[in-house]
Structure formats: C-alpha cells, structure tokens
Amino acid sequence: MILQILNRTLRVAKALMTPSPANKDVRYEAMHNPSRYRGEHRVDYETCIGCDSCNKICPTHAITMKKFPFKKQNIVPEVSLSVCIFCGLCEDVCPTKPEKSIILSGGRYDMLSGGWHEDQNDFWVHTDVPQSYIDSRLEDEEATRVKKELATKKKVAEAEAKKKAEAGEEIKKVETTLPDFNKGVLE
Amino acid sequence: MLKILDFFDYAKSESLWMAHFCTGCCSLEMAAAMGPRYDWERYGYLPTPTPRQADVLMITGLVSKKILPALLRTYAQMPEPKYVVAMGACSFDGGPYNDSLSVIKNPTEILPADVFIAGCPPKPEAIIEGLEQVKQKIKNGEPSAASQGGLWKEMEF
Amino acid sequence: MIDTLFSAFVFPGLLYVLVWTVGLFWFFRKFMAALHKRVGPSFNGKAGSYQTLFDLSKLLTKESITPDGVNPYLFSIMPLLAVIIAMLPAAFIPWMDGLVVVDSDYGLLALVILIGIEPFLLFLTGFGSNNKYSFLGGVRILTQSISMETAFFLSALSPALLFGTMNLTQIVEQSSWFSFLILFPGLAMYFVALLGLLEQPPFNIPDAEQEIVYGFYTEYSGTNYFLLKLAEFAEFMAVFAGATALFLGAYKGIFFDSYFFFFMKMLGIAMLMMTIRAATPRITLAQMLSFSWKYMVPLALLNLAWVLFAKSLWFMGA
Amino acid sequence: MENVRKIIENFTCEYVENYKKTWLKAKLSSKDDLLNLSEAIKKEGLRSLSTVSPTDFLEDNIMEMNYFFEDLDTKRNLWLKVDLPRDKEGCKIESLTPLFASANWHEREAFSMFGVQFLNHPDLREIIKSEDFKGVYPFRKDFDWDAHEKNQTQNIQQIVDAFKKEQNENEKDLDPDSSETILNWGPTHPASGPIRLRVHCDGEEVISIDPDIGYVWRALEHLVTKKDFVGAIVAVERLCFMDNINSMVGYCMAVEEIAEVEITPFASWMRVLLGEVARVSSHFMGLGGFFNNMGLHTLGMWNMDTREFFLDFLESYSGARIATASIEPGGVRYGLDMSMFDELQKALDKFDNSVGEVEAVFVKNPTMKLRSDNVGILTKEEVHEFGLSGIVARASGVKTDIRIDEPYAAYGELDLEYITQEKGSAKDRFMMLFLDLKQSVEIIKKAKAHIEKAVADAKMNPTKDHMVKVPKKLPKGEAISRVEWARGEVLMHLVTEEKAKTPYRLKMRAPSFNHTMMLNHLLKGQTLADIPLIFGSLYICQGDLDR
C-alpha cells in the first residue's frame, strides 16, 4: 500500500519533465487561431441588400437595422456586442454572394467595454457609412429616378403623339425640365 | 514614504484574487483560463475559496433571480477595495435568456462592473485581457464602479 | 548588543523568516504549477518571483473585516500570536556551525512544543470566528493535532534518545551517515506526522476547501489573513528546519559544511511534500484517526525501541 | 411488448399504437385508471418512470399529461397520455410517487410549473422556481409574463425577503440543547456550484439533506417557445455547456421527425463525431471534478490540457469553443474542411499519449480507492426505482445506453458494447466515467475513419452534404427523442401546432434531476466529508438540473 502510494507520487513528478502548454503571452496573442472563430462582426454596407433576414433570425435581438435616407437597400444591420451571443446564425442566413455582408468568422475575440450599464448600452458594431457614400447613393437614386421620369414622360409623350398623329393633329415637342437635384431629397 | 505607498498600490494591482463563485455557464471558460494552457496564475490571479480574501468578484454570465441575493451578499462580504468583472451577454441583459423571466435583465445596473467582457462565453484570452484592464484601472487609482453607484446600494440583501 | 539585535531582526530572526516565508510561498506555487503542467507566477519579476511579495503586501493593506458577533480580541490577537509562536523555533535551530541564537540544553523540547502548540491557536481562531464552517474546521484541527502530535513527539525524540542529548547543536554535531540510517524510520515517521500537523494532503482535513470551505481561515481577511498565512509558512519553515536539524545533519555537507546544504535539505523536504500533495487525495477524519492511532503511534513506539536497540548495539560500545 | 399491450387494452383507451421500435403509445380515456394501470405495468417490468410532462392546450381547455415509463432491462417503453381539465380546481390527478420513487421531483416540477395537483404526493412543495412565482404557474399558456415583469423590483424584494426569512428561521425547529445544526452548502460553496444543499447535521454526521435547486433556472422549456425552430438551438444547447452537442442532436431529431425529413449519412456521421467530441470534453471535466472534490487538482489540470485539443477541433469546425451551436434541424450546420481532421488527429494523439499516465497515477490511486470504494453505493434495484441513467446506472451494472438501445444518428452502424461496473459505489462511477471516455475516443476514431473513407470513395461530399432543407413552418405533431447525453438519458418531448414557426411545448428530461434526487438517499448517515465526493461522483451539472 505504502509502496503503491510512493509509486503514484513519483509518477506525478514526471509532469516536471513535460513543458507547459502555456507558452504564449495570451494578453497579446491567441493560443489557437481558427479561421472560423466567431468574433466581432464586420458589416459590408456596400453589398448589403437590406433584406432584414439577419435581424429576423437573431435569437437574442442583438441586431437593429440602421436606416438611410435613400429608398432601396436602405437598411444595414448594426450589432450590439453586449447582447450578441456570437451564434453566427446571421452570417448563415445572409443571402449575398459570393461574400456575405455580415461576417463573424475570423473576427476579434477581445471585446471589452466599461462595466457600467450605460457603457454596455452603447457597445456596438456601428456601421459607419461615410457621408460621401450616402451622397453618391442619393445621387444615383436621384439620377435613376430622373431617368425613369424622363422615360415615362417620353413614353407618355410618344403615346400622346401617336394618338395625336393618329388623330391627324400636329406633333408638338414635349419640353422637359430637370428638377433641382439637392432639394427636398434629404428630408 | 511616498515610494512605499506607491509600492503597496502597485502590489494591489498586480495581485488579483477572485472569489470562487459561479453564477452561470461562463465559469466553464473561467476554469479553462485557470487550466494549463492559459494559466492565469502567470499574471497573478488566484482563486480563493471564500469571498473574505478576494479582490475581484466575477459575474460569470447568467444571474438568475434566485441567486441575486447571494451574489450581492458575496460582494458585501469582500473586503475593500473590491472590483467586479462582468462577462458574457447574460450579465448585460440576460443574453440568450433575455426572453425568460427567471433571470435578472440588468445585473450590471444593480451591481456595476469595472469591465465587461463580451462573448457567450468569452474566450479565456479575453477573460485574461479583461482582468488586465482591471489591473490598469487600479494602477490609475480609479475607484471601483460598484462603490460609486448602482442599485445594489438601495437594495436589501 | 548589536549581535543580539542582528540575530533578532535580521539573520535567524524576523527578516530572515519573512524572506523565507515569501520565498517558500513562491516556491510552493511554482512547484505545484509545474506538477499541474502549468507555469505558475511568471510575469512579475524573474519567473514571477515578486508575485508572492505583492500578494502578501496587498493582504497587508486590505480591509480587515471583523464579522458580527465575534469576540474582536480573540479574533485579532490569535493570528498575531500564531505568527510569533511560529517564528520562535528559528531561534533554537543551529543554522550554521556555531550559529544558534539560543543554545539551550532543551532545544529539542522547545522546538517540539512550539510547533505543537500552533494548532491550538488555530483552533481558537476557528472557535472565535462565529461561523459554523470555521468552528468545524477548528474542531477538526484539534482532533487531528491531538492524534498526530503524539506520533510527532515520539518520532522527534528518537535522535535525542540516540545521541543522549536534547541540545540541537550537539545532535547535529554527533550526526553522521550511519546515524542517518538508524534514524531513517524515525524521519519517515516524523515526515508523515508533519503532514498531519501542517494540514497538508492527504491530511488537509481542517481546511478542506470542498468540505468546510476554508476551515478556520473562512472569516479572516486582510491583515489578519496575512498574519495567518505568514504563520502557516513560518511554521512550514520551522518544521522543515527541525527535520533537517534532527535527522539530516543540518548544515553538514558532503565536502564542506555550509548553510547551502541546510537550504537544499529543507527544499528537498518541501518538494517531497508538494509531490505528495499533487498525487494524493484527501482522506476522511475517521480514516486519519484510525491511521494515526492504529499505525502511527505504535510504529513510533517501535521506532524508539529500534533506536534503543541500535544504540546499545553500536553506539554504546563505541 | 405484447404483454404490455394486453395490460393496457384491459383499460378503456382512446388509442394504443406502436411508436418507433421500442415504444408503445397509448391514451387513457379516464384519469381514474392511471393508478391501476401503472401498478399493473410496474409488475410487468416497466419499473422506472422517466418523466412527467404536462402539455397545456389552452384552446381545448385540457391539460394533457404525458407519462414516460421505461424498462431498462428489456428496453420496452410506454408513452402514456391522459387528459385533465385545465382549470385550477379540476387539475388534479393521483400521484405516482408511492409506486415510482422517481416520480417525486418530476411531479413537484409539474406542480410548480403547471399547477397540476398530485393527490397523495408525500411532499408536494414547489421546486426550482424562485419566490416571486409562488402560487402562480409560469408555464401555463395563459400566464402573463409581461405583467409579471412590470413588477420586477417588487419581485426581487420578495425573493430577498424570503431569503432573509429563511436565514432567520433556518434553525428554528432544532432543539437548542442538542448539537444538531443546519449547514447551508452553497450556493457560494467552493464544491457546490449554484445549488444549495441544506445539510442537517450533527457534528460531522449527516442526518438529512434537502437540496434547494433553481439557482440557474432559465425557464429554457418556456424560452424555446419564443424562438423559431432554428433559433431554439441556442436555448437547447445551453442545457449544459459541457456537452452541448448531444442535447442539440436530441432536439433536432424531434424536429426532423415532425417535419418528416431524413438527414444525409454524412450529417449523421458528423453528429456522432461531434457528439462524441463533446462527450469527451465533458467527461474530462467530470473526471477532474471527482478528484477536485477530494482536494486534488492535478487530474483536473492534466485533463484540461488534453481537453483543450478537443475544443480546438470544435472551434475550428464551428467557430466557438463550447457554445458551438453547430447542429441544426436538417443536419449539421457547417460543411467539413478535411484539413480539420488533422486537428482532431492531434487531439487523439495527445489523448493516447497522456491516458496511460492518468490511468497509472489516478485511476489506480490507492488513496482514492480507500476513500471511495464503499461510499455511495447504488444497487441495481435503486437504479430501476429512481430511473437513473447513463454513467450512474451503468456503474451499478444496469445495461442501459441509448446509443445501443435506440440507435440514433449513425450509432446503429457502429458495434457498441455495454460497458458496466458491478458494485455501484463512487469509485465504480469514476471508473465508469473513465471507461466511457475511452470508448468515446474509440468511437471518434471509427467515425473519423468512416468519414475519411467515404469521402475518399466520393460517397460523401463534405462541403455540400451537411444540410437538408427543413421547412420553416412545421405541421401539427408530436415527437419524442432520446439521446445518450454525457450524464445520461435526455428525453425531448416536442409538441407543435399547425403551421407553427415556434415549438408549442418542449419538455427536456435531464438526467441530473434524477441524480440529485438521490443525494438525500445516499448521504443519510454518512459524514460531511462524503458530501462532495458523492456529489462529484454523481456527475451533476446545475445547468440541466434547473433548465
């Protein structure tokens, strides 16, 4: 019995020979870096189509959709890191191809904030859309709107012209004016 | 004289002992952080069996209604100066259990923490980094958050 | 005068014991970590050597809580008394050739009594804590120390019996390889009893973390806890030094005599203790009691008989 | 099976039908027959009652009681239903606790969550839920959770008051002259975790133990009804993080059964592989915990070292170390990159290298044997009576293992054998855990080899085969699924409504609930030192205890 105990005791001492696996300073680097680590989100506002499906599937309601003044694809997800449980369902469900618009994989793991409830309240992955992008989107939209307007007007005019022509009246030129670009759009 | 006091302040910051108290699942990752691979003892952290000798209280995730009095009492039993670390989504608003009524939705409003570590559960690396931030806070001489406010002061427990 | 002050406060006195305590605390953590396949304290100072200094200084500056309903005098004086008692044995130990503060003819007796009285102080700390777990811890430590001390005293007496003196200096001077062999069963017995006395696994029943939280330590915080921890490690040192002086020939070395050998021998005992700690689970109080009274005490008595026999066989004639 | 059918047909039933291979499903017409019927089937051999699960049908105004009877020896199971009126006065039924000891806490749970009154129950107190739910039944469909939430401050005050009151009156009933006292073991006790054992003791001797549970009650069974079928996996996996995969497997099997979807062979093999990895990582903690409770942390640390490698694989596969959320209805969530198997191989190698040392030092440790060989003995009879499962049941020599009894995923293609121990002491449970760990690693090896071979033969496509589409809206239906979880049998009872997007009711029968029931039985008359040992050997996790 006593010999057995001594034997066990000495065998434990074998651990002294094995080097410890704690060989990195984990304050600065991770011990294991998987490619699919579900960490901090990255949202690509340019490819996002604003389908709202990430918001719908989120089991913890961590995602809110930020609204933009332009009309189409005008919502982009923002994630509250203090609510998110990093399950990655939003990434799974995102329909954009080939790159998903919301990505957790390979994200950062060290997400720290102040401990006050207020600090955690505004602990978000904000989708910072630059003003220039908003402006360009607005301009694009305006341009397409105008184009469409023009096209419809033209169509209407043509149709009318056709009618008139059929009726044997004189063809009048349709005057079109371009609307003021920057007015009344940003409201 | 000033130097000696500085030394004690530094010592305080470099030696964080935590109360052995787990309220939820994040304590599993805390155990991993104690384990051989992450080994937080390298940085001077040490678990203590009783709150009387602890400096840091870890809110390890979920705080259910039933355990709240025990949590606050554990906090009260710790000697000054004491700090609180909150980890996991649960300690902000119940996290995945937000829809459930048996958990406290605002643990950090009741007991403000000094640092919040996001994740469900956070990686051990993140836990250690969060504790490093507490160290930094002590080095800067900042008072702990819970001593400055929080609903716990108005509550009985 | 200066010599007295020096020996009281610096060399085998206060400072020396403090350095030993802090160092031993660090060594325990480091060695235990290695057995756990961990690293242990590592980033403060070289190999984390400042870590325990920081830990103990932090405890010194923390708030000391005196819980409701305890006797504050009993609660705060006991740790102080425990430290003083735990530091005193250092004065009786021959650290180097001719360096012993109190060269008494009853050195061994003083050593054994000072070590043996420590658990009773700890019992009083647990008794005075007004906490059920502390009280249980106190009762357990009393039970354990009563049963273990008998074996401890008996095995500590074997060198005195062999050399016919209780003067530690003389015991060390007379010791040799041959006497070490004769005293080896006594050493083994002393070591096992020592595990019980210091509440080390497998006999860490009084402060069994998983059973009664932290035993008598449960309510202590800040300075009081610092003093208790200090007392614990000072007692470690005293007991290791006692074992070294009694059985292992203290400073006597292979080619020359030096304090270095004393140090290494103490470390050796500490390492053996830690290895046992890493490999053996705790046993129950009942098992400990039956082990101590059924095996330890009879064996210790047998050991005394063996020493007497050996003495009459080889030493009387010489 | 035929005998059971005959017995049931003696009573008036709405239907009796075969369900799956080993189950018989029946519905009693009258609740008065329940006691006689259960007595008869107990004589026939179905000796353990797995769980009691009420389902609240608000529109039909009935409370449907589901009883799951099991026979651990001959693998015959009975699913018995009976209707009760759901109004609070009429919702009464005879208690089965006098017949089946395992019904005790399950009936208490049904009482506290649904308000079903059990007549002649010996100890019908509320369990699990916190003080503010006293007298109300939170799982009833007409319970207004929002109104309850409005009074949160008051509710907390109520809990605090009850906490204080209990503290003051803790030892009121005790004789002041005797040395009896009540120890509160937890919830902050180092060995307990969030559970409180009220230990009634006299010095070192334990007189009785009354576990107070519910400290991590998250109302998971109610929570899943607020999430959709896919989102519910995050709630189901949080049953307990130590082995989260197998609980998700159980839930997904129930969903697939209702949706009538067959998963691909690749997905079922992946479920086996991932499930066993999770089981291994859980067992490592269990083995360590057993020794931790005897004051020795070395094994826990060594195991943690090996466990990290298995977690690495899970992390590479799913992107999270323990909250993997990697099983979805319809298969497994991600395709497999074959290079991930290198990581798994690393973990297996690490295990093979270190298991010998662990076995030599700890499994054959004489002090451990001295300490735990004669403590906490559970006989075969008690296992049947209390409906225990998994490690604990097998340690007593009962051959029960859902992986073999009722093969799911790809377990049917593996040749598994029952591993059992004889005596049923704490040591045997530890041994059982260790042997089970070894078996799991063997299964991982086999599953890995099988997948590798099939991929090489182009029978499986690891990047595309992993999922089959499951419709978002499920038909009306009801299913049960059983899985062998790390701790024992998990039974999931899923009820869905027509075109539902969310589960209507999910009952999770978790093994720790039954095992905790045993604590008082095992610890009566033992000493304080045995509490952590037996607690650790029963392999209890508070997560699945409270749900």
**Cis preceding linkage at A69, omega within 30:** no
- Each residue's pLDDT tens digit, D195-224: 888 888 887 888 888 888 888 888 888 888
Q: Tell me the chain A residues in contact with residue D361 when contact means C-beta distances shorter than 8 Å.
A: 8, 11-12
Confidence of residue B60 (pLDDT cuts 50, 70, 90): confident
Answer positive or negative: Cα dihedral of D159, D165, D166, D168: positive
Distance CA C251, CA C235 (A): 20
| Interval D429-447 mean pLDDT | 89
Q: Which residues of chain C make contact with B15, given a CB cutoff of 8 A?
A: 51, 54-55, 58
The per-residue pLDDT for D51 is: 87
Distance CA(B61)–CA(D64), nearest Å, equals: 35
Domain extents in chain C: 62-315
CB D321 within 8 Å of CB B38: no
pLDDT of residue A184: 46
- Confidence label for C316 from pLDDT (cuts 50, 70 and 90): low
- CB atoms D323 and A85 under 8 Å: yes
Cis peptide preceding B121, ω within 30 of 0: yes
* Backbone φ and ψ of D128, nearest 5°: 65, -60
Domains contained in chain D, CATH given? 2-125 (3.30.460.80), 129-169 (no CATH), 220-546 (1.10.645.10)
What proportion of chain C, given as a percentage, has pLDDT over 90? 0
DSSP string of D223-278, one letter each residue: HGGGS-TTTHHHHHHTT-STTHHHHHHHHHHHHHHHHT-PPPHHHHHHHHHHHHHH
D301 neighbourhood in chain C, CB within 8 Å: 36-38
Cα(D39)–Cα(D69) distance, rounded to whole angstroms?
Answer: 12
Q: Helices (DSSP H) in C164-296: which residue ranges?
A: 168-174, 177-197, 209-212, 222-247, 259-279, 285-291
pLDDT range class, residue D147, cuts 50, 70, 90? confident
B28–chain C Cβ distance below 8 A for any pair: no
Please tell me the distance from the alpha carbon of residue D281 to that of residue D318, in angstroms, as a whole number.
15
The answer to whether A21 contacts D366, with C-beta atoms less than 8 Å apart, is: no
Supply D362's token pair: 């700890």
**Inter-chain touch C287–D371, beta carbons under 8 Å:** yes
* Of B82-91, D2-11, D171-180, the least confident: D171-180
* Domain topology for B2-153: Rossmann fold (3.40.50)
Looking at residue C193, its pLDDT comes to 87
Please write the tens of the pLDDT for every residue from C226-258.
888 888 888 888 888 888 888 887 777 777 777
Whole-angstrom distance, CA of residue C44 vs CA of residue D315? 32
Encode burial over A165-185: b for 16+ CB neighbours within 10 A, e otherwise.
eeeeeeeeeeeeeeeeeeeee
- Per-residue pLDDT at C218: 78
CA distance C96 to chain A (A): 31
- Residue D343: other Cβ atoms inside 10 A: 19
Interface of D with B in 173-232 (CB under 8 A): 187-188, 190, 193-194, 214-220, 222-223, 226-227
Residue C108 has pLDDT above 70, yes or no: yes
For testing contact with chain B, the best of C30, C209, C216, C221 (most B CBs within 10 A): C221
Side-chain-side CA neighbours of residue D475 (13 Å) = 8
pLDDT class for C80, splitting at 50, 70, 90?
A: confident
**In the Cβ-directed half-sphere of A128, how many Cα atoms lie within 13 Å?**
2
Separation CA D61–CA D27 (nearest Å): 17
What is the rounded (10 degree) CA torsion for C92, C98, C103, C109?
50
D267-306 tens-digit pLDDT: 888 888 888 998 998 899 888 888 888 888 888 888 888 8
Is C210–D294 a contact, with Cβ atoms under 8 angstroms apart?
Answer: yes
Sign of the CA dihedral with C191 first, then C193, C195, and C201 last:
positive
Class of domain A33-129: alpha beta
pLDDT at position D461, please? Answer: 81
- Calculated CA dihedral for residues D39, D44, D47, D53, nearest 10 degrees: -60
The pLDDT, as a whole number, for residue D203 is 77
Task: Note if the bond before D187 is cis, omega within 30 degrees.
Answer: yes
The pLDDT tens digits for D295-354 are: 888 888 888 888 889 888 888 888 888 888 888 888 888 888 888 888 889 889 989 988
- Looking only at the bridges linking them, the beta strands covering D505-509 and D489-496 are antiparallel
pLDDT of the residue at D200: 84
Encoded amino acid at B60, one letter: T
Query: pLDDT band for position D92 (50/70/90)?
Result: confident
Does B125 contact C at CB distance below 8 Å? no
Over residues C56-77, the mean pLDDT reads: 81
The 3-state DSSP class for residue D145 equals helix
Nearest Cα residue to C40 out of B43, D292, D301: B43
Query: What whole-number distance in Å separates Cα of residue C162 and Cα of residue C151?
Result: 17
Distance CA D277, CA A157 (A): 72
What the block records as the tokens of D546 is: 């409270």
Cβ neighbour number for residue D303 with a 10 Å cutoff: 25
- Chain A CB contacts of C37 under 8 Å are 15, 18, 20-21
Residue (of D535, D26, B120, B140) closest to A80 by Cα position: B120
Q: What pLDDT band is residue D226 in, cutting at 50, 70 and 90? A: confident
C216: closest chain B residue by CA: B50
> What whole-number distance in Å separates Cα of residue D141 and Cα of residue D144?
8
Q: Kindly state the helix (H) or strand (E) to which residue A118 belongs, with its residue range.
A: helix A117-121
What confidence category does residue D415 fall into, taking pLDDT thresholds of 50, 70 and 90?
confident
Lowest mean pLDDT among A26-30, B128-132, D429-433: A26-30
Predicted pLDDT at D414: 84
Residue D71 pairs in a beta bridge with D76
Cβ contacts (< 8 Å) between D364 and chain A: which residues? 8
pLDDT at D13: 80
d(CA B10, CA D40): 73
- ipTM > 0.90 (yes/no): no
CB contacts under 8 A, A 140-179 vs C, are: none
Q: Do D130 and B156 touch (CB under 8 A)?
A: no
Contact D547, D113 (CB under 8 A): no
SS3 D42: helix
pLDDT of residue B2: 63
Give the residue from chain A lying closest to D306, CA to CA. Answer: A21
Largest Cα–Cα distance in chain B? 55
Nearest to C208 by CA among C132, C285, C125: C285
How confident is the model at residue C181, as a pLDDT?
81
Nearest alpha-carbon partner for D232 in D503, D523, D541, D41: D503
Query: Which residues of chain A are modeled with pLDDT < 50?
Result: 173-178, 183-187
Phi then psi for residue A13, to 5 deg, are: -60, -15
Q: What does the alpha-carbon distance between residue A161 and residue A169 come to, in Å, rounded to a whole number? A: 9
Q: pLDDT tens for residues B9-59?
A: 788 888 888 887 887 788 888 888 888 888 888 888 888 888 888 888 888
The answer to whether D218 touches B97, Cβ cutoff 8 Å, is yes
pLDDT(C279) > 80: yes
Position D536 confidence tier, pLDDT thresholds 50, 70, 90: confident
Residue A14 forms contact with C (CB below 8 Å): no
Structure tokens at D475: 């038909």
